[in-house]
């Protein structure tokens, strides 16, 4: 059986998906979050949308999208957005950044604050916390981390701070013993971040397109790594310029290995190794 571009088809046991539903959903997602949903994700996205519609007892994806567009405060926005966020992360990912952060904070006066603005399931902010505890004198006072992400489920997992032994393999053994508790019984094979590490971090849900930031506080460093690649250039530029006014004088922005901001804005100057300083 052939399916034309103009047809409407039905996935097995799932509501109808119209031929324009993907484009419409991509438009809605981009307007709400800035995330660009590429055409190569069409099949995955259409199945996800159909599953979301089925869970709401709707006959079609069109009805699901109609509901989202008619109610900007709907509780279903949360699951819609979570469905299209990517939570690829690891402890001490792009490891070269952490010695740079350690040396940098040694030159800063307290209070020292770092914003991890795409914290996912917590591996990155906990890596930052370990680095700060090792680098700062008396890290229990005047040292803090704000960890935010748009994905509510990811933030919940980050707050728990529970990981498999496989996930914490990149953590040096001495830091694993110092900052993690090993599970027993039903928790065997798992570890949990110790309170002294968790207490350094405030976890919040935040959309980088929200008008309600930058926060009232300012930061010595911002980690925004492997996140901008999901935005178009105009959105990247707006976010970078907002980062610039959120940083303290001489503050650093840490970017992902595939991200280059030098041609987007004059608000930052490249120091090297995907680290930028606000100009």
Q: Which residues are annotated binding-site positions?
A: 87, 89, 93, 124, 149, 207-208, 225-226
Binding-site residues from annotation for S-adenosyl-L-methionine: 87, 89, 93, 124, 149, 207-208, 225-226
CA distance 46 to 87: 20
Indicate the SS3 state at residue 63. Answer: helix
> What does the H/E/C string look like for the chain?
CCCCCCCCEECCCCCEECCCHHHHHHHHHHHHHCCCCCHHHHHHHHHHHHHHHHHCCCCEHHHHHHHHHHCCCCCHHHHHHHHCCCCCCCCCCCCCHHHHHHHHHCCCCCCEEEEECCCCCCHHHHHHHHHHHHHCCCCCCCEEEEEEECCHHHHHHHHHCEEECCCCCCCCHHHHHHHEEECCHHHCCEEEECHHHHCCEEEEECCCCCCCCCCCCCEEEEEECCCHHHCCHHHHHHHHHHHHHHEEEEEEEEECCCCCCCCCCCCEEEEECCEEEEC
Contact 219, 125 (CB under 8 A): no
Backbone angles phi, psi at 18, to 5 degrees: -80, 155
């Amino acid at each position: 059986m052939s399916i034309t571009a103009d047809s409407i088809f039905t996935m097995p046991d799932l509501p109808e998906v119209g031929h324009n539903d993907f484009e419409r959903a991509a438009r809605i997602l981009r307007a709400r979050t800035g995330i660009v949903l590429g055409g190569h994700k069409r099949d995955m996205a259409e199945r996800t949308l159909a599953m979301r519609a089925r869970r709401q007892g709707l006959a079609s994806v069109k009805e699901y999208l109609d509901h989202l567009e008619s109610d900007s405060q709907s509780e279903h926005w949360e699951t819609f957005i979570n469905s299209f966020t990517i939570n690829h992360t690891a402890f001490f990912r792009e490891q070269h950044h952490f010695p740079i952060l350690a040396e940098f904070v040694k030159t800063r006066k307290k209070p020292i604050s770092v914003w991890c603005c795409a914290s996912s399931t917590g591996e990155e902010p906990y890596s930052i916390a370990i680095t700060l505890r090792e680098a700062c004198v008396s890290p229990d006072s005047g040292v803090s981390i704000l960890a935010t992400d748009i994905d509510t489920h990811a933030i919940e997992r980050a707050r728990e701070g529970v990981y498999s032994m496989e996930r914490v393999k990149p953590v040096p053994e001495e830091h694993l013993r110092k900052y993690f508790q090993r599970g027993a019984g039903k928790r065997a094979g798992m570890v949990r971040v110790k309170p002294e590490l968790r207490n350094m971090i405030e976890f919040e849900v935040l959309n980088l397109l929200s008008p309600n930031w930058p926060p009232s506080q300012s930061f010595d460093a911002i980690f925004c790594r492997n996140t901008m690649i999901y935005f178009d250039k105009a959105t990247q530029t707006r976010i970078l310029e907002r980062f610039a006014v959120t940083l303290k004088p001489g503050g650093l922005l840490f970017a992902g290995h595939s991200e280059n901001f030098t041609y987007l804005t004059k608000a930052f100057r490249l120091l090297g190794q995907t680290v930028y300083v606000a100009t």
